[in-house]
Structure 1
Amino acid sequence: MTVDLFIPCFIDQIYPQTAFNVIKLLKKAGVEAEYNPEQTCCGQPAYNSGYWDETKSLARKFIGDFQGDRLIVSPSASCTGFIKNYYSDLFKPEDLEYEAHLHLKNRLVELTDFLVNKINFTDFGASFPHKVCYHDACTALREYGIRREPRLLLSKVDGLELIEMEDTETCCGFGGTFSAKFKSISSAMTEQKVEKALNTGAEFIISTEASCLMNIEGYVNKHKLPIKPIHIADILAHGWE
């Protein structure tokens, strides 16, 4: 099986090793990943800031970069959820891009959803002997609709102890441009999220969303706290070659 790989901006620019780990996971699952180096941002930051014309240009490019019939796998439910749910707002039904988006949205799938529900590959033989908690990112939970899938995959990791934190479904305070426009509110929300995570005694906080992890990591590093944010792909790729 061959899929197209969509790597979001935050992973491409800040956590490139996570992208390589996604390829490692797919390979072990018997899936070949094709990566188009021309791909760029899906347009979500521009859309959330009200720049719909700029978003439309990025959407056209994204649709053009991912033509064909293969599934498109991405390690981000935030970006996939945005593309699935909001690209149709950018184009009129009579536009060629509108029909192209309808075709594309049915091919686009988040990594954990793909592994669990598309190919039923849940055990990578990973080992991670640590206590962890899991952060349900807003967009992953509400825009895309995953909750069970990441936890199922984590349950197969040898030595990993998942401890659910209180209010795991509460926002971490990132919210894309929200964290820049409402810095004080965002920081307070991040503080609450990290406190909930620390209360579990976990050494790591896991999510499917690099953007949330980046936000949490900034707070953790600033305050020198004993917990480390990490993407689920990095966990599943740990402890085996």
Structure 2
Amino acid sequence: MKETGDATIRPALKYFLLAVSLLVLVFLSVWDMGLNLEDIRDLPNTFDFLGELWPLDFSMVDQALNETLITLEIAFLGTFFGLIVGFPCAFLAARNTAPGAVYHGMRGFLTFLRSIPELVIALIFVPTFGLSPLTVIVAIFLHNIAVLGKLIAELIEAADPGPQEAVAATGARKVLVALYGIVPQIVPVVLSQYFYRLEVGVRSSLLFGAIGAGGIGDMLFIHFKTFEYAAMAVDVLIIMVLIGLLDYAGAFFRSRVIG
């Protein structure tokens, strides 16, 4: 009976200590950053700001739609070419498809590339391309090589070995084993990851717009700086619709592949 009681107490004690540790970390973080929680009393200022967004100003909606198209094109090109390069890199970064030295080398390269923020990558290429959509495309492209390469490599490592063994039993080479034994298994999830990264690319493009790189983000920050909040609200609404459409597009294409 005593052993049963101890077995019941130990998990409870473990979770209690974990909860206490998390609370200590929260308080230490708040204290170290010097956060002033009394500022919450100024929350009505935010509601006053939201009130200035209405009624919506659709006078520049045509220009906003054109800039939104530019944002989508930037995100699409950066993410698409990131997938094109990241996909084969993933097979070189997976334990079950690459030799040890190649695996460690590619993993290290992807980790290094992923550790550099997109904004830093963009700043590196500003002297070459200037503050232009091409700078943003290159930044999103390079970052997506690393992110998609890692995500797809993990899918490859988790793939069911059964189909791979069946293809290998026919005497096929490793390339064909990967092509017919792994790729069909991971394609639906790869599509999901692609559309998610496309959404992230759209949001990244918005931030780059703040420094004048073009797109709807550029318009949004101009409207904010010039106190045209009702026009800014329309920009935000268009962005929300765009993200929703991308989400539905991802679900549609994934269902087609699975079906």
Q: TM-score, normalised by structure 2?
A: 0.23
Higher relative contact order (CA 8 A, sep 6+): 2
- Larger Cα Rg: Structure 1 or Structure 2? 2
Higher strand fraction: Structure 1 or Structure 2? 1
